[in-house]
Amino acid sequence: MTERTLIKDLAAASDGPISVSGWVETVRDQKKVQFVVLRDESGAVQLVHPRNFNEDKTPADDPIADIISGLAQGTFLTATGELKHDERVKLGGVEIKLDALTIAAEAIPETPIAEDSSGDKRMDWRFLDLRVPKNALVFKIQTTFLHALRTYWVEHDFIEIHTPKLMASASESKAELFEVDYFEGKAYLAQSPQFFKQMAQPAGFGKIFEVGPAFRADPSFTSRHATEFTSVDTEFSWIDSHEDVMKLHEELLVAGFQAVKDKHGDEIKALWDVEITVPTVPFPRVPLAEAKRIVAERGYEVPRADDDMDPEGERQIAAWAQDTYGHEFVFLTDYASSIRPFYHMRHEGDSSVTNSYDLIFNGVEISTGAQREHRIDVLIEQAKEKGLDPEELDFYLDFFRYGVPPHGGFGMGLSRVLMLMLHLPNIREATYLFRGPTRLLP
Ligand code: AMO
């Protein structure tokens, strides 16, 4: 592999011979001198080429000038030349005076997308869209965020697992299930690692995490739903209640946000005009029934016959948390059993309420967490009550027949966190390649 210097490292490099590789962002082809702005994954630099002239001032043989004159935006090339620091150069205070240009791959001159192209068009050409630094930054932030979470988990003795994505049955609602042919029978794409992350508890793993794909056959076109998303999951034993899960959740988010702020805070401010706030702990916690009262007092009646919160209610309670605590996060706790899955533990003494929560960040749900029911007889009763056939769940119920300690955990949508952290208008912007009801390509 040829040695290349990353463009971000040029400022600290000494003047002298250098080689960089990237794609052409702009070309300024002037009479006496040519300029090319070359970008790589780390930054952009100006390449300079003073044209060659004969003594009588007629243009001389000049192969580099010929290449530059024919350069299309987007062409990938390697440039070698002399690095020179010059504080007058706006772009990074350095430039490279060219000795040679080697084209690796030419691009078609017409670019199919522009800054003002529609979201759909941009997604059609996602690989070009991601060349825009602010769009690529989203995925650098995602890397830093996940790295911080992973570091936290590893330092606290969590074990990483990878559960199968081909399943024999649903783990969440049957309505959102993708069915696939599986040899002589059928399989389903995992909606969540729920059952198999819980299996790590009877397996004696104690504390686990998983970052992996989840699939939901949700036909809705909202700014926060995808049919495939990356789910960040954790599950751990020996908890007293969902309060322990919320504590872990907070600590993980603080670690993630701190790392993002430290590494990318300035760039996020410059490119997205967003100030990253590292949340303080504890995050506000509000039981759902109280949240509805608060929202009603603010003039919004949640129009749901069941006991759930709707998206506007979530926005309102987030506004309340911001006004009251100056906090971007709020835990809504104690959801009614009627709207929670059978595996959520219910309050001791009041089985109408669960030991569960949703985490709202900047007005949108990013996560669901709960203490799980680990007592087999109660679990079977709760499954039956939800109209589920215990026989279909036998593989799951078996875990509990051999003993499972008290445990809980949460699942969090990675792209939703990124979307809300950067105030992006749509989950597509925070997803490398979005999947929705009408999008399977690219
Ligand atoms: P839930 O169904 O609430 O809980 O999902 C957890 C989190 O996953 C994200 N999410 C989605 N993101 C994008 N598109 C979707 N269609 C989508 N659906 C869900 C959200 C959501 O908060 N098993 C439980 C978690 C648990 O209890 O551990 C579960 O899946 O951010």
Take residue 292 and report the two structure tokens written for it: 């509805």
CA of 442 to the centre of ligand 1 (A): 24
Count of alpha carbons within 13 Å of 383, Cβ hemisphere only?
21
Q: Write the residue with the smallest CA distance to atom 8 of ligand 1.
A: 413
Q: Is residue 2 part of a domain?
A: no
- Please say if the pLDDT value at position 85 is more than 90: yes
Was 372 annotated as part of a binding site? yes
Residue 2 has pLDDT above 70, yes or no: no
Interface pTM (ipTM) of the complex? 0.99
The answer on whether 414 is annotated among ligand-binding residues is yes
- Residues lining ligand 1, judged by CB closer than 6 Å? 172, 192, 194, 216, 218, 225-226, 229, 231, 233, 365-370, 409-413, 416
CATH number for 336: 3.30.930.10
Residue 305 reports pLDDT greater than 70: no
Q: Which residues span the domain enclosing 405?
A: 126-430
**Of 111, 333, 142, nearest to 256 (Cα)?**
142
pTM of the model: 0.96
Rounded percentage of the chain residues whose pLDDT exceeds 90: 94
Domain count, the chain: 2
Segment 402-423, tens digit of pLDDT = 999 999 999 999 999 999 999 9
**Cβ-based neighbour number of residue 389 at 10 Å:** 10
Q: Which of 105, 140, 156 is the endpoint of a domain?
A: 105
**Mean pLDDT, residues 244-270:** 98
Q: Judge if 98 and 133 occupy the same domain.
A: no
**DSSP annotation string for 215-250:** E-------TT--SEEEEEEEEEES-SSHHHHHHHHH
* Domain shared by 82 and 228, yes or no: no
Residue 415 annotated as lining a ligand binding site: yes
Q: How far is the CA of 412 from the centre of ligand 1 (A)?
A: 6
Does residue 173 have a pLDDT over 80?
no
Closest CA to 46 of 67, 70, 63, 22: 22
In the reported structure, the alpha carbon of residue 139 is separated from the centroid of ligand 1 by a whole-number distance in angstroms of 20
pLDDT at 415: 98
135 plus 98 within the same structural domain:
no
Residue 113 lies in a domain: no
CA of 304 to the centre of ligand 1 (A): 20
Annotated binding-site residue? 216: yes
**pLDDT per residue as tens digits for the range 8-55:** 999 999 999 999 999 999 999 999 999 999 999 999 999 999 999 999
